[in-house]
Amino acid sequence: MKKLLQLAAAGFAALTLLSPAAHAQDKPRVEMKTSQGSMVIELDPAAAPKTVANFLEYVKSHQYDGLIFHRVIKGFMIQGGGHAADMSEKATRAPIQNEAEMALKAGLKNDRGTIAMARKGDPHSATAQFFINHGNNDMLNFPSRDGWGYVAFGRVVSGLDVLDKIAELPTSPKGMHQNVPQTTVTIEKVTLLGKK
């Protein structure tokens, strides 16, 4: 009987290790301080491992500090991580593989409050730029119109009011760029908070 209880306890411990609550501990969080307030974003490396690793490398190298949200469309998304206030583009590392299909299978979609990678026409062209979905954008999910979609890799867990505040700002063209906030929204600092 004692042996049976020990086996049952061991089995329960193994189940606990595999539970969603245990997996939640593997999700690092970053704080994104902006000139409009702060957002805490929980990343999901199980859903998009290469994408999360890429983003965290940029965070650790302070790539985003001092850049702006350069494209804002209310009801759609706010995009940043690539341009300084004068709209000059910051150099990046090589592009990464698109993980939109994997993320979707893991349950991460381009819903309100999720963070996703921005890219060019090439589905494997994402580098540092990202966007935060202001609305539910199903048309961006895998397979989208191009057979790939845009990979969501985390979600805002605190500061949705800041997302809304930024999305409400009036925008206008600036040079060749459209939908640029008339009030500059600076990403002051992005900091890794650890795992929750």
Map residue 149 onto helix, strand or coil: coil
pLDDT for 195: 52
Ranges of H-type helices in the chain: 2-18, 20-24, 49-60, 100-105, 160-167
User: How many CA atoms does the CB half-sphere of 90 hold within 13 Å?
Assistant: 21
State the pTM of this model.
Answer: 0.87
pLDDT in tens, 38-77: 999 999 999 999 999 999 999 999 999 999 999 999 999 9
Percent of the chain exceeding pLDDT 70 equals: 86
End-to-end CA distance of the chain: 38
pLDDT for 56: 98
In whole angstroms, how far apart are CA 109 and each of 102, 104, 150, 189?
10, 6, 9, 26
- For the cut 60, the answer to whether the pLDDT of residue 13 exceeds it is no
pLDDT in tens, 110-141: 999 999 999 999 999 999 999 999 999 999 99
Report the alpha-carbon distance of residue 196 to residue 77 in Å, rounded.
26
Q: Across all residues in the chain, what is the average pLDDT?
A: 90
- For the cut 90, the answer to whether the pLDDT of residue 192 exceeds it is yes
